Amino acid sequence: MPELVIVNQNHHVTFQDIGRYHCARYGLSQGGAADLLAHCWGQKLLGNSVHATSLEILLGRVKLRANGDLMLVLTGADCNAFNATTGSHIAPWQPFSLTNGEEIHLRIPKSGLRSYLSVAGGFDVVPFMGSTSTVERNHIGGPHQGLALQLGDRLAISPEPNNSLAVMPTSAIPIYAHHQELRLIPAFQYSKLPQHLIDKVLATTYRVTPNSNRMGVRLESLEHDERPDEAQPLGSLISEGIVCGAVQLPPDGDPIIMLQDRQTLGGYNKLGTIAFRDLPTLGQMRPGDTLRFVLTDLEIERVKQRAFYHYFGL
């Protein structure tokens, strides 16, 4: 069976797919690719099912060797990857081949946070509750009970041939700018929040902080002259279910946006939810990047989400 071997160790390479659904009742996080668009394109370009597994690679810095002849694609953040055996550059968002013994090296991307490596035939990973996604906080996924892949790991690949390769339109390749405007769908609690608080959040530019992770993107305001009492949301709520993209307002006033490995319940007030089409952008934001929230309409976002599902067969 062909395989990829990790020949240097980046502590943030994990198996991810579209996520683990219908498991919140058991206290399990959703998991799945933080940039679902990059994951789905990677599988589509290779002719795989979008339910296949990708490697999610945080900030590059990984080397892998092919044992066998493979067809692969890199999507997401551009790591300026190259074939270390031939010295040739590997273009992102386009299928490429590795022959037996060749190595691929990924550098640190200039923008974006996560890259996705997909392989024709798919990685041969044992699923747990319908998904191969790694979730560290739940200790599930991958060969190390929820931990990242390690030096020397041999990643088996399904041997089924797959020749239906596709070409990525250049116009469809995302640009991971260091400042983004994220569409916000108002939540049930939106109308119950003080108007001055809503106005402040919508007018503020926020910076992504270094303590962000796959559970959530933590923000800090770039404005330093607001009165502390005006930065306070309402009191905490009885904990309730919380979705990916939910914008929580903790007592310190700096929002937290929930990601794929979030807890299943939350007791902070929620301003709203990031639109589905902007979640991949959110998953690529790195510490120091900035963002603002802009309101959007629920019905418009439903249409956009259905179009995504239809195109990728979800």
Whether 310 shows a pLDDT value over 50: the answer reads yes
DSSP 3-state of 87: coil
* 179-312 CATH choice from 3.30.2350.10, 1.10.3720.10, 2.40.100.10, 2.30.30.50: 2.40.100.10
Specify the higher pLDDT residue, 230 or 62: 62
pLDDT mean over 58-85? 96
Question: What pLDDT score does 234 carry?
Answer: 60
Nearest to 66 by CA among 108, 9, 119, 109: 119
- Mean pLDDT of the residues in the chain: 92
Radius of gyration of the chain (CA): 20
Place of tokens 């929620």: 270
152-168 pLDDT, tens digit each: 999 999 876 666 778 88
24-39 pLDDT, tens digit each: 999 999 999 999 999 9
185-244 pLDDT, tens digit each: 999 888 889 999 999 999 999 999 999 999 999 999 998 655 544 545 466 688 888 999
Question: What pLDDT score does 10 carry?
Answer: 74
DSSP 3-state of 28: coil
89-139 pLDDT, tens digit each: 999 999 999 999 999 999 999 999 999 999 999 999 999 999 999 999 999
How far, in Å, CA of 278 to CA of 274, rounded?
7
How far, in Å, CA of 169 to CA of 93, rounded?
9
Question: What pLDDT score does 230 carry?
Answer: 52
Using the CB atoms, write b or e for 32-52: b if 16+ within 10 Å. Answer: bbbbbbbbbbbbbbbbbebbb
Place of tokens 């929230």: 293
How far, in Å, CA of 53 to CA of 49, rounded?
9
Angle of CA points 113, 20, 244, to nearest 5°: 55
Question: What pLDDT score does 176 carry?
Answer: 96
Question: What pLDDT score does 233 carry?
Answer: 45
258-281 pLDDT, tens digit each: 999 999 998 899 999 999 999 999
Q: What is the DSSP string of 116-185?
A: EEEETT-B----BTTB---BGGGTBSTTTTTSPP-TT-EEEB------------GGGS----SEEEEEEE
Question: What pLDDT score does 161 carry?
Answer: 64
- Tokens matching residue 261: 């490995």
Nearest to 202 by CA among 182, 225, 230, 232: 182
How far, in Å, CA of 72 to CA of 47, rounded?
11
- Name the pTM for this structure: 0.94
Nearest to 285 by CA among 200, 219, 224: 219
Percent with pLDDT over 70 in the chain: 95
Question: Please, what sign has the CA dihedral across residues 206, 208, 211, 214?
Answer: positive
CATH 2.40.100.10 spans which residues of the chain? 179-312
